């Protein structure tokens, strides 16, 4: 049954014209949504338009199989200046498709990475300007963010330096653009008669258009007079060809799109940065967290490209800003061309087939059914990666500030990198405040919206010298340029190598770039690569040599140059039983339901056709900004698979580098840029006994002094860079007859961690660069077997490489080959067992020492031997968002662990204790701890004090003294014993549950909870099967139940 769509009563002829304030239209429309609900209509001069403001409806109209972009009245007027540019083109205009296909690669991740230095240069100009003005001088924030964004797009897209920060007034283009957009909006509301009666406005309008077009022409003329091979937007427009039709853009079309990018490329980014600063100043806690993240990740040095993917809170700040204050407040859609009959929304709202529908993002992005009752509050935490990905698909569509689907903003990666970079540099260097603390947000509207009258003041943070700041901003190493994969000494590059075909499906150019990167690496390993598009493999899929496929998904659909291949693969009867292949996929987790869909489908279909998968599928999440790291890691896997069976590649005597060993010098040098030095405050044994009859692992508590710019939150990890034990190093030196003062130099090739052409102490290399105690791999064992004439028994090939070498003295393994077999020394990660609220200058970790006759844990024995005053290299690693303490301190906690798994919960309880001591109300907390016995219980005295303060209740389970713990041997037994308390806290009071320990502990807790649920169901007369209860519990994981499992 259809529902009536409400409409305010209007006036003859003009309809609802007076229901919308032209100077504050966004608020007018939002007020109407508050009054009439999720959908209403308005009539203007006989034309009816529909307005929707719920996530349900926005999600429905963003379905591109049913609806498409509508170039509505205001955009029709904007076409007077930019015609059929990318933003204003109608869906059926050919120039849109040509320009879109040509320009997509210019906004791919590789291209965006390459312009990082140029973006950094412009952002440095803003920072330098603010640093030189008096800290009490008001800053008109929208003016400076406009300068920043306009100069950035002009330099990065067209190679033009506008130098806006070196002039008092704005560039004429900016003023003409603002007037042009404002007038376009006003013209759409005027009648033809009104336009004729205002000839002055018409003349000004035409002058503004002429200035916009002459500025674009100036960019073009400048490029033609000063040609460059730079792969930027302007070159793509001037010299590129449409990959589908082979056509080039006309001069007029280049001008249209140059204006489009100059407008869109700065107007929205300027608004985003201005709104972000406003929201952070209104929410000091979020500002502090953002600044802390910058300090932790970037520190005091210059920001580098690799930092960009490591700023999740900054990204959350920007996302939350776009949710609450979107720079583009609405988009218009209409039923797809060819729709004959009325369409029905939400099963009840009947809309005409030619209707214009406006999505009100300013309301839908505050939909309480999705964002909760605090939807109008600024909380970046709701937009952190894991919570962000858990949002309904429609909620992100509703929150999408860059448009929808095929007509979404092509420059999104450009704007996002620019915004993250600018905000990070501002927060790194300045403390901000309102000029007028009582300022209330006002909006300036054109096609976009910005804060009106927002002024701030910026003062340099402590320790920053304005004179030295410009040098500091530019002191980092360059981040762009080609990545060179150096071939090993045994590699060949001749054209007679083994064939390998690399097929790519790419629209933005990313996968194509990865394909060529792989091709270069393959040549270095003696292969002869043939690089083609996937469509070129139709009816021509190789079956006599390996095939590597690199493909992406675009909301679940294949790229343009892979569509034919996908259809062919679904229907072909070709014999692919002799084909062997591997797949690497690029995707974006913002589109959860279609993430990696195309690469996964290609893999599935090829396997069904009989082809053999010779390497596991690799993947990268573009949203994390680690494309190149992920691809490099996968290429290592691929190289191992391709080398299998290749005598030259797998020969144990053809090491990838040569080593010269000398005994007359010893030195060691090691630098780890991502780590920080920390001093040991204390290192105490807190549990464990050496008595033979009651031996238990030693547990220790290590307190570290943190660097001044390092911060953490309860639940985070501390990554430690260990050093191998001297006993293990001695075993290696003894096996290879090397003295302790032996030195080595890698003279050619490369190693993952050991510097080339530098004399290093062999002992230092063995201590600090490689893993000595890790179990030998299958490949290691194959190499060892080839180095002896005797047959090696499988059962005696256990343990590390040095274990096997000591077991078999007859193995003749050269030292360089031994070194090449060892993986790089890896970081060890430990849960932080303290809260920064107790002491922000220190952090502690709690660990069990792995120390047996046959094996010494590299990290734990290293940590055990550290004395107060020792220096150690550390880094803070963030835990998952699900494992954080709830923002609401009154929410109860249920914590379960065993052994050193208590570490993060000591931090949790210490934080709650600090808050309770300051007068805050905290929720009930219970801690279930499993250990061997009373003497093995760590932090018993502290927990007893916190229990006396009413902060926590502790329920131990002693496996060797169960008589002291109500007969409960394991933590899951104690949880079951206290099931009434657990049920009350979880079911009635909404407690959050946390589990830390081995996977066995996690499984035991899940089984105990399932039993509790079943018992409670019986009591309530709603029987539940054990399987149903277990599934219910698992479905809560990541929401109300979080796990940190280690083995």
- pLDDT (tens digit, 9 = 90+) per residue, 981-1007? 999 999 999 999 999 988 789 889 999
Would you state the pLDDT for residue 662? 42
User: Which residue would you say has higher pLDDT here, 387 or 626?
Assistant: 387
Instruction: In whole angstroms, give the CA distance from residue 124 to residue 266.
Output: 17
Would you state the pLDDT for residue 694? 55
Would you state the pLDDT for residue 478? 38
CA 604, 605, 609, 615 dihedral sign is: negative
**754: confidence class by pLDDT, cuts 50, 70, 90:** confident
**550: confidence class by pLDDT, cuts 50, 70, 90:** very high
Would you state the pLDDT for residue 406? 62
Would you state the pLDDT for residue 402? 62
Would you state the pLDDT for residue 1000? 86
Q: What is the largest CA-CA distance in the chain?
A: 103
Read off the DSSP letter of residue 403. -
Instruction: In whole angstroms, give the CA distance from residue 333 to residue 52.
Output: 11
* Residues 181, 447 contacting (CB under 8 angstroms): yes
Average pLDDT, the chain: 84
**510: confidence class by pLDDT, cuts 50, 70, 90:** confident
pTM of the entire predicted model: 0.54
Instruction: In whole angstroms, give the CA distance from residue 296 to residue 675.
Output: 11
User: What are the tokens at 742?
Assistant: 């032996």
The three-state secondary structure class of 698 is strand
Q: How many CB atoms lie within 10 A of CB 198?
A: 15
Instruction: In whole angstroms, give the CA distance from residue 56 to residue 37.
Output: 13
Would you state the pLDDT for residue 517? 77
The three-state secondary structure class of 567 is helix
Would you state the pLDDT for residue 403? 61
Tell me whether residue 67 is one of the annotated catalytic residues: no
**852: confidence class by pLDDT, cuts 50, 70, 90:** low
Instruction: In whole angstroms, give the CA distance from residue 553 to residue 559.
Output: 7
**653: confidence class by pLDDT, cuts 50, 70, 90:** very low
Write out the DSSP string of 917-940. Answer: HTT-----EEEEEEESSGGG-TTH
Would you state the pLDDT for residue 665? 28
Would you state the pLDDT for residue 590? 54
User: Which residue would you say has higher pLDDT here, 528 or 584?
Assistant: 584
Q: How many CB atoms lie within 10 A of CB 977?
A: 18
Between 400-409, 631-640, 905-914, the lowest mean confidence (pLDDT) is in 400-409
Would you state the pLDDT for residue 690? 56
pLDDT exceeds cutoff 50 at 493 = no
- Alpha helices by DSSP H, 373-495: 385-390, 393-398, 412-429, 469-473
pLDDT exceeds cutoff 60 at 685 = yes
C-alpha pair distances (Å), 228 with each of 158, 222, 853, 979 = 11, 11, 66, 73
- The secondary element (H helix, E strand) that includes residue 953 is strand 953-958
Instruction: In whole angstroms, give the CA distance from residue 710 to residue 676.
Output: 9
Instruction: In whole angstroms, give the CA distance from residue 67 to residue 1038.
Output: 35
Tell me whether residue 268 is one of the annotated catalytic residues: yes
Which of 268, 327, 510, 696 is catalytic? The answer is: 268
Q: How many CB atoms lie within 10 A of CB 930?
A: 29
Buried b (16+ CB within 10 A) or exposed e, 427-442: bbbbebebbeeebeee
Helices and strands (H, E) in the chain, number of each type = 37, 32
**485: confidence class by pLDDT, cuts 50, 70, 90:** very low
* Residues 450, 472 contacting (CB under 8 angstroms): no
pLDDT exceeds cutoff 90 at 141 = yes
Cα end-to-end distance, the chain, whole Å: 57
How far out from the chain centre does Cα 898 lie?
32
Instruction: In whole angstroms, give the CA distance from residue 445 to residue 184.
Output: 12
C-alpha pair distances (Å), 709 with each of 297, 315, 460, 841 = 9, 20, 16, 10
Would you state the pLDDT for residue 553? 82
Could you give phi then psi for residue 280, rounded to 5 degrees? -65, -40
Would you state the pLDDT for residue 491? 32
pLDDT exceeds cutoff 90 at 232 = no
Looking at residues 550-561, what average pLDDT do you find? 79
Q: Closest Cα to residue 331, out of 538, 107, 72, 540?
A: 72
Which of 156, 253, 409, 879 is catalytic? The answer is: 409
pLDDT exceeds cutoff 60 at 906 = yes
342-398 tens-digit pLDDT: 999 999 999 999 999 999 999 999 888 888 878 888 999 999 877 887 777 656 544
Which residue in this structure is represented by tokens 């003859």? 12
CA 31, 35, 40, 46 dihedral sign is: negative
**839: confidence class by pLDDT, cuts 50, 70, 90:** confident
* Residues 649, 525 contacting (CB under 8 angstroms): yes
879 is in an annotated binding site: no
Looking at residues 838-845, what average pLDDT do you find? 88
Which of 165, 182, 339, 402 is catalytic? The answer is: 402
C-alpha pair distances (Å), 285 with each of 322, 455, 655, 841, 888 = 19, 20, 54, 19, 14
Ordered by where they begin, the domains of the chain are 79-473 (1.10.630.10), 503-650 (3.40.50.360), 659-829 (1.20.990.10), 882-1045 (3.40.50.80)
The radius of gyration of the chain from alpha carbons, rounded to an integer in Å, stands at 32
Instruction: In whole angstroms, give the CA distance from residue 299 to residue 311.
Output: 12
Could you give phi then psi for residue 584, rounded to 5 degrees? -125, 130
150-187 tens-digit pLDDT: 999 989 888 888 899 988 888 888 888 888 888 888 88
User: What are the tokens at 976?
Assistant: 């079951």
- The percent of residues in the chain predicted with pLDDT above 90, rounded, is 39
Would you state the pLDDT for residue 447? 78
Write out the DSSP string of 114-175. Answer: HTHHHHHHHHHHHHHHHHHS-TTS-EEHHHHHHHHHHHHHHHHHH-----GGGSSSPPHHHH
Beta strands in 646-730 (DSSP E): 659-662, 676-689, 696-705, 717-720
pLDDT exceeds cutoff 80 at 820 = yes
Tell me whether residue 402 is one of the annotated catalytic residues: yes
Instruction: In whole angstroms, give the CA distance from residue 149 to residue 272.
Output: 10
Instruction: In whole angstroms, give the CA distance from residue 907 to residue 943.
Output: 11
Report strand pairing: 330-335 vs 356-360.
antiparallel
Would you state the pLDDT for residue 480? 39
């Amino acid at each position: 049954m259809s529902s009536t769509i409400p409409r305010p009563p209007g006036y003859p002829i003009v309809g609802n014209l007076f229901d919308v304030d032209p100077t504050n239209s966004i608020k007018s429309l939002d007020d109407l949504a508050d009054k009439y609900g999720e959908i209403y209509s308005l009539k203007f001069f006989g034309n009816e338009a529909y307005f929707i403001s719920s996530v349900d409806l926005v999600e429905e109209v963003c379905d591109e199989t049913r609806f498409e972009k509508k170039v509505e009245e205001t955009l029709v007027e904007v076409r007077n200046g930019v015609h059929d540019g990318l933003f204003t083109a109608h869906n059926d205009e050919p120039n849109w498709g040509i320009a879109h296909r040509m320009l997509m690669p210019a906004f791919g991740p590789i291209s965006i990475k390459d312009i990082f230095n140029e973006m950094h240069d412009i952002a440095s100009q803003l920072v330098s300007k603010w640093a030189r003005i008096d800290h009490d001088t008001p800053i008109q924030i929208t003016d400076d963010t406009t300068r920043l964004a306009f100069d950035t797009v002009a330099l990065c897209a067209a190679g033009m330096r506008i130098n806006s920060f070196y002039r008092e007034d704005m560039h004429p283009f900016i003023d003409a653009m603002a007037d042009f957009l404002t007038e376009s909006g006003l013209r759409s509301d005027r009648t033809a008669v009104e336009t004729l009666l205002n000839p002055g406005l018409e003349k000004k309008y035409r002058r503004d258009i002429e200035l916009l077009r002459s500025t674009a022409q100036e960019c073009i003329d400048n490029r033609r007079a000063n040609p460059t091979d730079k792969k930027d937007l302007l070159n793509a427009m001037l010299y590129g060809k449409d990959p589908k039709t082979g056509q080039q853009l006309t001069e007029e079309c280049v001008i249209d799109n140059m204006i489009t990018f100059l407008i869109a490329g700065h107007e929205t980014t300027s608004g985003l940065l201005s709104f972000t600063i406003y929201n952070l100043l209104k929410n000091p806690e979020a500002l502090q967290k953002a600044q802390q993240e910058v300090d932790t990740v970037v520190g005091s040095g210059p920001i580098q490209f690799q930092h960009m993917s490591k700023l999740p809170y900054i990204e959350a700040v920007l996302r939350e800003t776009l949710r609450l204050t979107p720079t583009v407040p609405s988009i218009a859609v209409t039923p797809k061309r060819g729709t004959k009959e009325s369409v029905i929304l939400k099963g009840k709202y009947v809309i005409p087939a030619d209707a214009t529908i406006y999505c009100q993002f300013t309301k839908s992005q505050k939909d309480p059914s999705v964002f909760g009752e605090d939807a109008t509050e600024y909380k970046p935490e709701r937009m952190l990666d894991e919570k962000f990905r858990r949002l309904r698909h429609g909620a992100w569509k509703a929150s999408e500030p860059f448009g929808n689907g095929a007509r979404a903003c092509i420059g999104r990666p450009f704007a996002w990198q620019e915004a993250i970079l600018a905000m990070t540099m501002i927060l790194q260097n300045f403390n901000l405040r309102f000029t007028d603390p009582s300022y209330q947000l006002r909006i300036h509207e054109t096609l976009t919206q910005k804060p009106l009258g927002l002024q701030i003041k910026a003062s340099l943070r402590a320790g920053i010298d304005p004179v030295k700041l410009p040098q500091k901003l530019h002191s980092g190493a360059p981040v762009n340029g080609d990545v060179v994969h150096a071939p090993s000494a045994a590699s060949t590059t001749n054209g007679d190598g083994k064939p390998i075909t690399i097929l790519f499906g790419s629209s933005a150019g990313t996968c194509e770039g990865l394909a060529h990167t792989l091709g270069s690496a393959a040549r270095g390993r003696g292969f002869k690569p043939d690089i083609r598009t996937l469509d070129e493999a139709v009816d021509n899929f190789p079956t006599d040599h390996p095939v590597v496929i690199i493909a992406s998904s675009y909301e679940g659909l294949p790229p343009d140059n892979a569509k034919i291949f996908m259809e062919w693969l679904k229907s072909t009867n070709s014999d692919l039983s002799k084909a062997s292949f591997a797949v690497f996929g690029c995707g974006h987790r913002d589109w959860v339901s279609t993430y990696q869909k195309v690469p996964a489908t290609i893999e599935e279909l090829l396997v069904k056709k009989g082809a053999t998968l010779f390497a596991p599928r690799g993947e990268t999440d573009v949203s994390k900004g680690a494309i190149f790291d992920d691809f490099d890691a996968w290429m290592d896997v691929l190289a191992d698979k391709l080398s299998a069976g290749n005598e030259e590649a797998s020969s144990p005597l053809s090491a990838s580098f040569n080593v010269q060993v000398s005994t007359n010098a010893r030195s060691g040098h090691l630098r780890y840029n991502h780590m920080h030095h920390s001093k040991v405050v204390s290192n105490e044994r807190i549990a464990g006994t050496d008595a033979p009859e009651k031996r238990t692992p030693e547990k220790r508590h290590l307190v570290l002094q943190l660097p001044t710019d390092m911060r953490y939150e309860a639940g985070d990890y501390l990554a430690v860079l260990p050093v191998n034990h001297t006993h293990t190093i001695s075993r290696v030196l003894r096996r290879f007859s090397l003295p302790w003062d032996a030195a080595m130099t890698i003279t050619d090739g490369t190693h993952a961690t050991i510097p080339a052409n530098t004399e290093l102490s062999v002992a230092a290399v063995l201590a600090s660069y490689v893993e000595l105690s890790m179990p030998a791999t299958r490949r290691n064992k194959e190499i060892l077997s080839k180095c002896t004439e005797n047959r090696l028994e499988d059962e005696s090939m256990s343990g590390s490489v040095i274990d096997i070498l000591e077991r078999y003295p007859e193995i003749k393994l050269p030292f360089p080959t031994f070194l090449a077999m060892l993986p790089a020394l890896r970081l060890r990660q430990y849960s932080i067992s303290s809260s920064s609220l107790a002491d922000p200058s220190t952090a502690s970790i709690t660990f069990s020492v792995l120390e047996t006759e046959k094996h010494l844990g590299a990290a734990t024995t290293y940590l055990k031997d550290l004395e107060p005053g020792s220096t150690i290299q550390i880094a803070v690693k963030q835990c998952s968002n699900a494992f954080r303490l709830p923002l609401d301190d009154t929410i109860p906690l249920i914590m379960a662990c065993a052994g050193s798994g208590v570490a993060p919960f000591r931090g949790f309880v210490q934080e709650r204790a600090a808050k309770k001591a300051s007068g805050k109300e905290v929720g009930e907390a219970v801690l279930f701890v499993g250990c061997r016995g009373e003497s093995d219980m760590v932090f018993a005295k502290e927990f007893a004090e916190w229990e006396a303060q009413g902060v926590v209740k502790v329920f131990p389970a002693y496996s060797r003294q169960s008589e002291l713990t109500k007969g409960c041997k394991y933590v899951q037994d104690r949880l079951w014993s206290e099931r009434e308390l657990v049920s009350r806290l979880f079911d009635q009071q909404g407690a959050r549950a946390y589990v830390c320990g081995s996977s066995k502990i996690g499984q035991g807790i899940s089984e105990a909870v399932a039993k509790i649920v079943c018992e409670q169901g019986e009591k309530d007369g709603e029987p539940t099967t054990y399987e149903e209860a277990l599934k219910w519990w698992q479905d809560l994981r990541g929401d109300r139940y979080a796990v940190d499992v280690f083995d």
